[in-house]
Amino acid sequence: MKTATYQKHVLNFKQPSGTSRGVLKSKETWFILIKDNGKHGIGECGMFKGLSIDDRPDYEEKLQWACKHINSDLKELFQALTEFPSIQFGLEMALKSLESKNQFELFPSNFTKGTDSIPINGLIWMGTEDFMRKQVKEKIESGFKCIKMKIGAINFKSEVEILKSIRKEFSSNDIELRVDANGAFSTSEALEKLKTLSDFDIHSIEQPIKQGQINEIAKLCDITPLPIALDEELIGVFSKERKEALLETIKPQFVILKPTLIGGFQGSDDWIDIAESNQIGWWITSALESNVGLNAIAQYTYTKNNVLPQGLGTGSLFTNNFESPLQVKNGTLKYKSNNSWNFNL
């Protein structure tokens, strides 16, 4: 008989991190711990306040319920948690951890052996123009070949100037530039702003307008001068039929998968299958989980053999993260298999 418990943990940012939704100073996360026959499994439910579809008053109650029903039929259990994708993912992770020889090695591969790495983008947080320029300089100096800049919080003209200064020094062969608007543009100004951004050989823009405006984003994807990647738009779309209808209607150039927000490995697999059958590119991104969640996402991502830089560089953001073998080096995420975990709640 399995037993399951959960525990909350508050991650503290080393420095306040700016997005178009405001400045983040801390982030709550929850861990599911499963025991069975002397073995332990660990999973992280990294519900993201203000973004996750399961940011609801009954979240903890549902977490308690999931732990209580850990010995139920798993298909039925996951079905009952459809509207709580982060709990689905935490459970999926914990069960995989329980089955594994090493509770933190969920997908053994050349990545977990430490012989291969995952290319990742360097994330530029919003802030003053000076602060953003400083981050760009640091990322380039530390070996990143792909930079993702969050835009939409400071003056658009200043953001354009930063992009212009990067392109003056580095061509798109040297540095791939991605921008993430987090839905900051209004529908009336979006196309003009995309035209301005397209001068800088931008790889893609994430979610230029707020999610839920299906006709508007579909029109934009049809006439855009630079590739559009859907991110928030995927949140809260549960059935396979609705996922197919969404991508067939909007026809984006890319989708970005955050397993915590879309139902874990299974939810990501569904989106990947649909995207690929519609010739839509994709990549995977963490959503400010601790190293426990990031580790599971990175190992899963490696098995997908996607050559694009992934969004997995968030492990060093917190003062009280857990020591792990994950290491960012020269714009890649590596697994130093001789480094051990220190998971203490």
User: What positions carry a catalytic annotation?
Assistant: 150, 258
319 touches 12 (CB < 8 A): yes
Cα 20 from Cα 153, distance rounded (Å): 5
186 touches 209 (CB < 8 A): yes
The 10 Å Cβ neighbour count of residue 329 is: 11
Give the H or E element holding residue 127: none
Q: SS3 for 216? A: helix
Q: SS3 for 277? A: helix
| Three-state SS annotation for 63-86 | HHHHHHCCCCCHHHHHHHCCCCHH
Angstrom CA distances, 200 to 94, 187, 217, stand at: 43, 22, 22
Cα 129 from Cα 18, distance rounded (Å): 12
Give the H or E element holding residue 229: strand 228-230
Q: SS3 for 342? A: strand
Cα 80 from Cα 122, distance rounded (Å): 37
